[in-house]
Every structure is written in structure tokens, then in C-alpha cells.
Amino acid sequence: MTRRLLTKGGTFSPKGHFFAKRGHFFARRELFNMKLSLIRTGQGFFFFHNLEKWPRNLLNDIEANCFVKSNFITVLEEKSLMEEVEPKVKRLKYETSHWDDAIHLFRERKFSKWSAENEAVIQRILDASFPSSSSEKSVWSGEAHVLDLHKDGHIRPHIDSIRYCGEIVSGASLLSDCIMRLRHEKEKNLLVVDMHLPRLSLYKLSGAGRYEFTHEILPDKKSFFSDERLKVGRQRRISIICRDLPKLKDASVLEEIKFSRIPERD
């Protein structure tokens, strides 16, 4: 059977079913019978399930406000970060249940001070993640949340509390690739997008992807990407997570939030 694929303004890969246009790549089995779509923004990966069911405004919002930047951190920078992180997290035991039941097999710590070399990496994360214009400027919490996820661990679907978190969360992935899955809060089985987070990459969630969707890290046995079921092997993963603070007028509340653990939304 001949497949009909739109080619104007695009190119085909050797496999013949990847469509590229204006820097975005779409995986299509048939143009008029499309169930799944792969969108590659820059060097990051977004795989939309049930693409034809997605409202156009949501698609545009995810593409505009969420990203994955591959090779954001170098191997040498990863080594330097791990040399600072490892001695502190290895003293902790892997926990089997998070206090809000969102994470399985994890260790975590907050870091507010880094070596000069690593501080430069953290600053680069902030520069890439948070708006610099005065009208939109976000207030960083001042602490990086370091999450050590065991190779057999996973993060369950959850939405962060708006009382403790602002409009942006970003994270650098060390040691391992993984799949982050977003599910729409009201259409959990219909509006689903998978993000492939390669080792050394930086991801960002904001806009609709921040509070209209749950986010989770899939366990290794479920860590597949695209309709071709491409296996993304999971190993132990360290994520260095940066969040902005909620826009509250009460300074005392902001100070309290800076030193609080981040719960799920009620």
C-alpha cells in the first residue's frame, strides 16, 4: 500500500516515515489516519499520543513553553557536578516511598552552595530556563534540588503545589536517559506527551505543561519512546532541579517556602 505523506517544505529520512519541516520532525504512518506524532524541537524530543485529538492551542503552548536541550552539560561538567554531589547523597539510604507518595527508590538533597566551577553550570541552567526581562523576571528559590533516582526507581504522576512553586521548573539529567510523561489533568488517557530526556540534557516545563498536566518519570520496564517502541534504557539518574518561587507579596511566606519540601497540589 502506498502511503500518502505531505512533502512540501520537508524532507524524508531513510526510513521513509519521518517528515521534517521548519526544524520539526513528525512521525506519521498515514497522513489521514494519524494516531501518534513525534515532534522534535531543537535537539529535544516530544512524542504526542493521539495527536488528532489535541486542541491546537495546547499543542502550541507545549511547543512554546517546554523544551529539551540535548548536550546542555558536557561530560567533564557532569563529572565535576557528581564529584560534589556524590559524597553528600551517598550517605543517605534510598527511600521506597516519598512523603507524598510521588517517588519510589530515591535520595534527595538541597544544594545552595557550589564550587565556582559548578556554580557556573547552575547559572547557565538559570539563564536558559528563566526569563530575563524585568516584566517577566522569575525569582529563583536559591536552592537546587538534587534528586537521585535508583535504576529501579520511578516518579509517579503528580502536579507540584502552586503554594510552594512558581511557573517554571527545569532540570539537568546526569548519568542516564529517561522518559518524562505528561498527562493532561482532565484527559489523562487521551492527551499524553512523552519527553525523551537524554543524559546531559536540560528540560524545562512552563505554561500549560506546568500545572495542567501531571508529570512522571517512567520505570525502566516501561521506558519506551514513539510508536516504534524505541527502548530508552534507564540507569541510576541524578537530576539537578531548579524552580522559581510563587509570586507572593508576603516576604515572610516566601522565606518559609524557600526552606520547605515541595508537596503535590491538593
pLDDT tens digit string along 43-95? 448 999 999 999 999 999 999 999 999 999 999 999 999 999 999 999 999 99
The values of phi and psi at residue 221, to 5°, are -65, -20
Between the CA of residue 44 and those of 164, 177, 196, 203, what are the distances in Å? 28, 12, 7, 8
Domain range summary for the chain, segments of one domain joined by +: 10-65, 67-258
The DSSP bridge partners found for residue 181 are 194, 216
Specify the pTM: 0.79
- For 67-258, which CATH class? mainly beta
> Can you give the pLDDT at residue 4?
27
Confidence bin at 118 (pLDDT 50/70/90): very high
pLDDT tens digit string along 1-12? 332 222 223 322
Compute the chain's Rg from CA coordinates. 19
If you average pLDDT over every residue of the chain, what do you get? 80
Between 116-129 and 75-89, two packed helices, what is the crossing angle to 10 degrees? Answer: 110
The values of phi and psi at residue 122, to 5°, are -60, -40
Local structure of 30: helix, strand or coil:
coil
pLDDT tens digit string along 21-39? 333 443 344 333 334 556 6
CA dist., res. 175 & res. 59, Å (int): 30
- Please name the residues in contact with 124: beta carbons below 8 A apart, sequence gap of 6 or more: 72
